[in-house]
Amino acid sequence: MRASMSIWAVIAAALALLPFWPGAIDSYAFSFLFFVFIYAILSQAWNLIAGFGGQISLGNHAFFGLGAYATAILWSGNYLWGSLYESHPRIYYFDPVTMAIAGLVAALAAALVGWPLLSKLRGDYFALGTLGFGEIVKVLFVNGGDFTGGAFGIVAPSSTFDTLLPHYWTGLGLTVAVIIAIGLLMRSRYGLALIAVRDDEMAASANGIDTLKVKIAAFAGSAFISGVAGSLYTYYIFHVGPDSVFDLDWMLLPLMMTVVGGTGTLMGPVVGAFVMYAVFDLARIVVPDYHPVVSGLAIILAMLFLPKGLARIGFGLPGLVRRG
């Protein structure tokens, strides 16, 4: 297994070297790949709770938005670095501490709502509950007054932006890190416990697994990853508003990408993110007036003809086979 993953390592290395190709940084492909990384991270997050954990979360966009808001609030309010901010005006820009806090805020929210939701609700009811949770978070931020900037949101100092290079490398690095972390996790006893809970919760609990704890941990982990993705997006978009970062698309598109790539597989979400974002972006270029129509059609066609995901085709690539 480990040796066969080397093809993905080669692809990652090639992507890491891409900026050194003359003209690559200014090319369209560069920003395209940045968005593929964001969606790949979000898809991995959704796959962790839904694909490996079997708990369909329809509220992951809330964690993305929480991460984005946490970054924008810490930055524009200078809550973290105090007087250091004056001497180092770029200190919040791609600051690992800020990004980690963004993830932790989302994870904390997930643990707090996950506890009652996951202990009380099963299956469809959990999905409905998380959908309601996502909408509540959005309304809270619209009504948050000066702290959240209300319906307009918060604008971060965009003067820090000069190149897409840090976005690209951070996105790539985070994608690789998330894949490795989830790969290692799924090989550990915690990953086995998660799959056991997905496949038969009763049997898992009879074998001494604290199923609630496992599910909450997976939910919080999924939220952490989504929150970090939201933080990364803030450094790109700079204006964080309730309608943009709490948009349902931040949950629906990763969900679709994961299903297209193959739920419960390690590399499926990444492949799905790349393929589906390519389809959407191509539609945006070729038929600009109709591209959302094409997106809708693409989802339906993908589900009709590839219900098991690209995993069924597999392309002979490792990491696309569902475990468990």
Partner 1 sequence: MFDFPPPQIFLQLSLNGALGGAMYGVAAVGLSLIFGTMRLIFLAQGAMIILAAYFVRALFQSFGIDPFLSLVIVVPVGLAAGWLIYQGLFRKAAVEEDRNISLLIAVGLMFLAENLMTVIWGGNTAGVVTSYTASGIHILGIRTSFTRTMGFLIALAGTGLVMLFLRKTLVGKAVRAASEDITAASLMGISPHRVNAIAFAVGIALAGAAGVAVATTFPFNPFAGFIFSLKALVALALGGIGSVAGALAGGIILGLIEAYVQFFVGGSWTNAVAYGVFLAVLMFKPEGLFGRPYKKA
Q: Where are the beta strands (DSSP E) in the chain?
A: 154-155, 239-240
- Total binding residues for partner 1 by CB under 8 A? 42
| Part of the chain binding partner 1 (CB under 8 A), chosen from 20-28, 72-80, 216-224, 247-255 | 247-255
Q: Residue 49, interface with partner 1 (CB under 8 A)?
A: no
Which letter does DSSP use for residue 322 in this model?
P
3-class SS of residue 239: strand
Of 96 and 132, CB closest to partner 1: 132
Please choose, out of 65-73, 199-207, 224-232, 295-303, the segment that lies near partner 1 by the rule CB under 8 A: 295-303
Residues 6 or more apart in contact with residue 230 via CB below 8 angstroms:
63, 64, 65, 66, 67, 68, 69, 70, 71, 102, 106, 245
Question: In the complex, what is the shortest distance from the CB of residue 302 to partner 1, in angstroms, rounded to a whole number?
Answer: 8
Tell me: does residue 56 bind partner 1 (CB under 8 A): yes
Selected from 101, 204, 259, 275, the binder of partner 1 by CB under 8 A is 259
> Do residues 50 and 238 touch, judged by C-beta distance below 8 A?
no
Can you tell me which of 157, 278, 292, 323 binds partner 1, judged by CB under 8 A? 292
Of 136 and 278, CB closest to partner 1: 136
Touching partner 1, residues 99-128 (CB under 8 A): 116-117, 120-125, 127-128
Residue given tokens 């949770």 in the structure block: 133
Using alpha carbons, select from 308, 194, 223 the residue that is nearest to residue 259. 308
Q: Footprint of partner 1 on residues 133-152 (CB under 8 A)?
A: 133, 135-136, 139-140, 142-143
Q: How far apart are CA 104 and CA 95, in angstroms?
A: 14
Rounded to whole angstroms, how far apart are CA atoms 182 and 84?
Answer: 35
Task: Enumerate residues 199-238 that contact partner 1 by CB under 8 A.
Answer: none
Separation CA 41–CA 276 (nearest Å): 14
Check if the beta carbon of residue 265 is closer than 8 Å to that of residue 311.
Answer: yes
**Residue 176 CB, nearest approach to partner 1 (Å):** 26
By CB under 8 A, name the binding residues for partner 1: 50, 56, 116-117, 120-125, 127-129, 131-133, 135-136, 139-140, 142-143, 248, 252, 255-256, 259, 263, 289-290, 292-293, 295-300, 303-304, 307-308
